[in-house]
Structure 1
Amino acid sequence: MIHEVDEGIRRLLHAGGVPGGGGELAFEAPTTDWTARRNAPTVNVFLYDIREDQTRRSTGNLEVLARDHLVAHRRPPRWFRLSYLVTAWTNRPQDEHRLLSEALACLACHSRLAEEWLTGSLADLDLTVLVESGGPVSEGRAATDVWSALGGRLKPAINLVVTAPVAGPLTPLPPTADAGLVLVDHPDNAPRRLRYDDNPHNTHPQHTGPEHTGPEHTGPGSSPEGSDDRSPGDRLSPEHGFAPPRPRPPDRRRRNTPIR
């Protein structure tokens, strides 16, 4: 993520014309050796501190979707504050102040890195990357301590802080198999219910008849138990993997007999 923040700062400054006039932009530590090798006006952006912003830490899981289906869980990102010292290096102090002023004017116009300046994981997360310029040096440090560690003399510098996310770990979910109730088309447009039993070796669905769409009919005109009033076209044949309908039992009721 750090190199992606570096690239975002580079694009921000270049969009503002910094450094202009054939100047250079460097992210190296401004040590005495680096100063001796410099041969052009340069804006130096030195990363000197990295700290987590614990006020933005959260718990739980985020859902990762693919084609409207849940495919994974991701832990929430953790946010870090990256602190930079922005300095200008030329042969004359007046030129340094002019170059540093251009950098300050460019940074002060932005409170975040624009979408077109984000790359890699920062672009994938699609979260706001904040930019603060001109604030105090990172907590627990002093400007003199930073320059002493670099072995150089104290110079005017802009303190730049970028707050960026680090993506949490991804946990893919196992694929799920479709099972249960399935509706299939029938030539007479009457849906049929197919039920799968609990036997994992039985892959043929069992036919449970057409769906019942009206109220039950009982009384003298009702069909006796076990009868099948469906037309031949409604009955499923054995070659489809279903049992043939049972034959209608003989009607043993007496004809023209009063009901007792």
Structure 2
Amino acid sequence: MIHEVDEVLKDLLGGGALAGSGIDVALDAPTRDWAARRNSPTINAYLYDIREDVHRRQRGQVPVYDEREVVIKRRQPPRWFRLSYLVTAWTKQPQDEHRLLSAVLATLIPREVLAPSELPGSLGALGMSVPLSVAGIQTESRSLAEIWSALGGELKPSLDLVVTAPFPAYPEYDAGPPVTEGAAVRVRTVDGPPVTEERAHRPTQVAAARQARGAARGAARGGRGTGSGT
């Protein structure tokens, strides 16, 4: 799931306001060694934090349908995770970096939700929209200063980008076929014969359908009787 979010972000950051600009998009940790090797303007999106969004956790099971809208499997609801990215711009001049960050904001601000059709692989197969937020209030326990200190670099302007993505839950369980016939109840005594009574109990849907067909036949007979008397 994480690599699929990476793929979506690279496409987003390389498009929008930066489409056709030739700006590189990297996912590497922006360490001093990486910065020293960089030789072209670059947007860096470094994944620095992964944690579950427990407020989205659900219980129970989710049905899985086939093309005929028949339940074929059941599975647990997906778990949602907050993927936090540190987005920075790297050029030779601070003003150019600020322009790139402005272009990133212009690209991401309108994209509050990513539709399932925009998501690749197993992420898109879930059929769920993925929320995205940029430059919001930082909720992770680590501050940006601590992150830069851990990377061994100097603090520089950055955007906090958070993608809350579903992670599919496993395993899946096969569902039994739909009930189409009634169930039989067999009653026996302790010392009696194997079967002393048998009663058929049909599903409510089957019984309702039979009642509807019987009412329709009765109406049809009544209509024919009225016609013959006139």
TM-score band, normalised by shorter chain: 0.7 to 0.9
Higher relative contact order (Cα pairs below 8 Å, separated by 6+ residues): 2
Taking the aligned partners of 2:178 and 2:104, their CA distance within structure 1 comes to: 58
What's the secondary structure of 1:63's corresponding residue? strand
Q: Shift of residue 8 of structure 1?
A: 1.3
1:36 and 1:10 map into 2 onto residues whose CA distance is 22
Q: Would the aligned equivalents of 1:85 and 1:159 in 2 still touch at CA under 8 Å?
A: yes
Q: CA deviation at 1:71?
A: 1.6
Aligned partner of residue 147 in structure 1, secondary structure: helix
**What SS class does the counterpart of residue 163 from structure 1 fall into?**
strand
- Tell whether the 8 Å contact from 1:72 to 1:170 is kept in structure 2 after alignment: no
**Structure (1 or 2) with the greater helix fraction:** 2
Q: 1:19 Cα shift?
A: 6.4
TM-score by length of 2: 0.73
Q: Is the 8 A contact 1:60 1:75 kept in 2?
A: yes
1:1-260 map, 5 Å: 1-18=1-18, 20-66=20-66, 67-173=68-174
Q: Could you tell me how far apart the structure 1 residues matched to 2:116 and 2:15 are?
A: 13
User: For residues 168 and 34 of structure 1, what CA distance do their matches in structure 2 show?
Assistant: 36
How far apart, in 2, do the equivalents of 1:34 and 1:113 lie?
30
Larger radius of gyration: 1
- Report the alpha carbon displacement of residue 111 of structure 1 after superposing the two structures with TM: 0.3
Write the deviation string for residues 136-176 of structure 1: whole angstroms up to 9, x where unpaired.
33421111000000000000000001101001114332665
Asked whether the 8 Å contact 1:53–1:80 carries over to 2, the reply is: yes
Structure 1: unaligned runs, 5 residues or longer = 182-212, 214-260
CA contact (8 A) 1:19 1:99 kept: no
Q: Percent identity?
A: 50
Task: Please report the RMSD computed on the Cα atoms of aligned residues, expressed in angstroms.
Answer: 2.3
| Larger CA deviation: 83-92 vs 116-125 | 116-125
Q: In the superposition, relative to structure 1, how do residues 18 and 117 fare at CA in structure 2: closer, same or farther (>3 Å)?
A: farther
Q: Which amino acid aligns with 2:170?
A: P
Deviation by residue 1:38-83 (Cα, 9 ceiling, x = unmatched): 0100000000001111111110001112233322111001111111
Quick one: distance in 1 between partners of 2:117 and 2:65? 24
User: Using a 3 Å threshold, how does the CA distance of structure 1 residues 77 and 180 change in structure 2: closer, same or farther?
Assistant: closer
Q: Contact between 1:24 and 1:40, CA under 8 Å: does it hold in 2?
A: yes
Aligned length: 183
Distance 2:78 2:115 in 1: 19
Letter in 2 for 1:87: T
Residues 64 and 74, structure 2, Cα contact 8 Å, conserved in 1: yes
Q: Which runs of 4+ in 1 moved over 3 A?
A: 174-181
- Matched letter for residue 26 of structure 2: A
Could you list the per-position Cα deviations for residues 91-118 of structure 1 after superposition, in whole angstroms to 9, with x for gaps in the alignment? 1111111111111111112101244431
Q: Is the 8 A contact 2:115 2:128 kept in 1?
A: no
Structure 2 contact 126–168 (Cα < 8 Å) conserved: yes
| Maintained 8 Å contact 1:52/1:78 | yes
TM-score, normalised to structure 1, is 0.65
Structure 2 CA distance for aligned equivalents of residues 93 and 19 of structure 1: 21
